[in-house]
Amino acid sequence: MFTDQQIERYSRHIILKEVGGKGQKKLLDGKVMVIGAGGLGAPIALYLAAAGVGTIGIADADVVDLSNLQRQVIHFTPDVGKPKVESAREKMEAINPDVRVRTYQEWISAANIARIIADYDFVIDGTDNFAAKFLVNDACVLAGTPYSHGGILQFDGQTLTVKPGESPCYRCIFPAPPPKDAIPTCARAGVIGVLPGVLGTIQATEAIKYLLGQGDLLTGRLLTYNALRMRFREVPVKKSARCPVCGDNPTITELVDELDIETS
């Protein structure tokens, strides 16, 4: 089933009773889509590749900027000006030639996200704006695809895992995006460089656990983290009967870009 090199590469996984050879085979057969190759996407992509997740998609239309390097650890100084998905792919394949990396150099939208997430077992949201986060949630809920939400700003981060039909979704907690400019972006408010490493690693862990079928996922639990106080807090959340996408009478039955809603 495995080559000698694979047995050596994944030996620390294989000796875990929760993983073993069968579990490692599940990882190699697994398909995970990472949306965003920035602060969160960087550690997520590196750890998924190192773990031997067989097919990893990564979507981002941006190019590497010098200001990214303070936190986006998958990109190096010589990568400035290079498409982020290509920079990420090179590092992922260098870590582990077993993995197949599919790149999508495009911004996600209502027109393309269903195509981008199709055929993947699990989706990870590493985006940096509310419009994208709500779109990822809606697309995954409508497709029935489990996913991990993550968000960071300044010294704070949060993450939640969603299993459509079984657990609360992002809109169960936040029914609609905040007003435009109500919450500043990382570019305007700043972010401590190590923060996405903490949250992204948790998101990668959730994907690996899901593929293995092991452990307790962050479903029904919003995990928040403050780096200054070095505190994690777990907030129980419940499915909302009035959720616009997964409630009893959903009003969102097709994908629409939130920015279009705001300007209409």
User: pLDDT of 186-201, one tens digit each?
Assistant: 777 899 999 999 999 9
259, 234, 237, 257: which is closest to 246 by C-alpha?
237
Which tokens hold the place of 209? Answer: 């656990």
User: pLDDT of 98-133, one tens digit each?
Assistant: 999 999 999 999 999 999 999 999 999 999 999 999
1 in a structural domain: no
101, 116, 136, 122: which is closest to 206 by C-alpha?
122
- Going from the C-alpha of 57 to that of each of 49, 103, 123, 221, 251, the distances in angstroms are 11, 6, 9, 26, 30
Q: Which domain holds residue 129?
A: 10-263
Model pLDDT, residue 188: 78
* Higher-pLDDT residue of 177, 201: 201
- Going from the C-alpha of 207 to that of each of 89, 127, 200, the distances in angstroms are 19, 16, 11
User: pLDDT of 25-45, one tens digit each?
Assistant: 999 999 999 999 999 999 999
62 in a structural domain: yes
Model pLDDT, residue 259: 56
Q: Read off the CATH number of the domain in which 214 is found.
A: 3.40.50.720
136 in a structural domain: yes
193 contact partners, CB below 8 Å, separation of at least 6: 70, 71
Tally the domains of the chain. Answer: 1
- The residue-averaged pLDDT of 214-219 equals 98
